[in-house]
Structure 1
Amino acid sequence: MAEHDIDSLIRNRRTINAFKTERPDNEAVLAALESGCWAPNHKMAEPWRFYLLGEKTIAQIVDLNAEMTRVKKGDGAAQKKRDKWSTIPGWIVVTSLRSDDSLRDRENYAAVCCAIQNIALSLWSRGIGIKWTTGDVTRSPELYEILQIDPAIEDIVGVLWYGFPKESPTSHRRPLTDVLKQLP
């Protein structure tokens, strides 16, 4: 891949909020997860764990989130959330291995974020978009139970919703000069 190709891929990838109903091929998703495993990581810790969810597990999470929403915002909001979440074609949960060492824990989290970026770019190169969500449900003990994750061992970094984009939003960034300080 030419240098400008990777730059273009990075600059054109977008968070997708609306997906077509068709679920992408599992082969493409597995290839993207493999790319996630090639993220930089301190001391080759490879702290990422991926959970590729099936329909039964997704339905349990949709129910959990709808109930959480109902408690906070009422029945109408819960139904809207249920309707929206029920249309998302693909779900991946990404976790980071925990460490008793706070520096190692931070390094693990950073590596997992790099892995998620690799996954996002790999999927985008195949015409598949993602939304990385970190809403309240990702911190709920009930989600850990549904996924059979021991929170003492793994921390949920987020849920990646994936699918073919209905639309691809545009975006812009501040110029590099706004965020760059060059020192002697």
Structure 2
Amino acid sequence: MEQAAKKTATPVADIIQERRSIRVFKEEPVSQELIEQLLGVAVWAPNHLNRQPWRFILFQGESRKTFAQAMVETYSAEERTKYGEPKRQYLEQVPAHLIVVLKEDPRQKVWDEDYAAVCCLIQNFQLAAWEAGVGVVWKTNHYGYEPKFREAVGVHPGEKIAGVLHIGYPRVVPEPVARNSVSSLLTVHS
């Protein structure tokens, strides 16, 4: 297997290989100004016909309680009893939650192109954040499909939650996980 964190010739390649999904954050808040700067980089993602099919909803400070409550409310009564309070505490201590929303188009080809563009935007955000010393984990959990959660956080009909980004300064950075070798995945026709 190839080394995941092997230094390369370009800083972009290094950042791609060094970035990690961060789940344990320092208490220090990430400023709205910095998040907006990172989004300002992220929106340069490729998107067909420059449709820019995205928008963002940010929860930080006291509003994290609203986000956490909306998420915990998606649990069954049994799950709330078992997991609710620890999950609420975790979500309330994450410095920021950014919901990345896709404006859905009814045409399948356009939807596919737009969803791919939003995913590229999220990766751009993660890489720009990592370069700035900020950690991110991209979540696509069940609650993104729950009508009560969507309404509570301000997602409109005709929109898809492409991801919820938990954002903060890393307290714990996980070790790299090896990737499969490209040669084992590549089919070449010559």
TM-score clears 0.5: yes
Q: Distance in 1 between matches of 2:118 and 2:33?
A: 21
Which of 31, 54, 73 is equivalent to 1:67?
Answer: 73
Cα distance between partner residues in 1 of 2:155 and 2:162: 12
**1:168 aligned residue:** 173
Correspondence for 1:147: 153
Gaps of 5+ in 2: 1-7
State the match for 1:88 in structure 2.
94
Is the Cα–Cα contact under 8 Å of residues 98 and 105 in structure 1 kept in the other structure? yes
Deviation at 1:27, TM superposition (A): 2.4
Residue in 2 that maps onto 1:43: 49
Partner of 1:21: 27
- 169-178 or 158-167, which moves further after superposition? 169-178
Bigger drift between 121-130 and 162-171 goes to 162-171
RMSD over aligned CA atoms reads 1.7
Contact 2:20 2:135 survives alignment (8 Å): yes
Query: Equivalent residue of 1:151, what SS?
Result: coil
Residue number in structure 2 paired with 1:53: 59
Alignment of 1:7 onto 2:33: no
2:103 corresponding residue in structure 1 = 97
2 CA distance for matches of 1:48 and 1:162? 18
Q: Give the structure 1 partner of residue 162 of structure 2.
A: 157
Distance 1:23 1:41 in 2: 31
Q: Is the 8 A contact 2:60 2:95 kept in 1?
A: no
| TM-superposed deviation, 1:109 | 0.4
Change (3 A) 1:126 1:53: same
Structure 1 residue identity aligned to 2:24: A
Please give the secondary structure, in 2, of the residue aligned with 1:68. coil
In 2, the alpha carbon distance for the partners of 1:30 and 1:110 equals 21
TM-score (norm 1): 0.92
Alpha-carbon distance between aligned partners in 2 of 1:23 and 1:168, rounded to the nearest angstrom: 18
1:130 aligns with 2:136: yes
8 Å Cα contact 1:57-1:146 kept in structure 2? no
Identity among equivalent pairs (%): 29
CA contact (8 A) 2:99 2:165 kept: yes
Distance 1:48 1:30 in 2: 14
Q: Greater shift after overlay, 65-74 or 15-24?
A: 65-74
Following the alignment from structure 2 to structure 1, what is the Cα–Cα distance between the partners of residues 78 and 107? Answer: 35
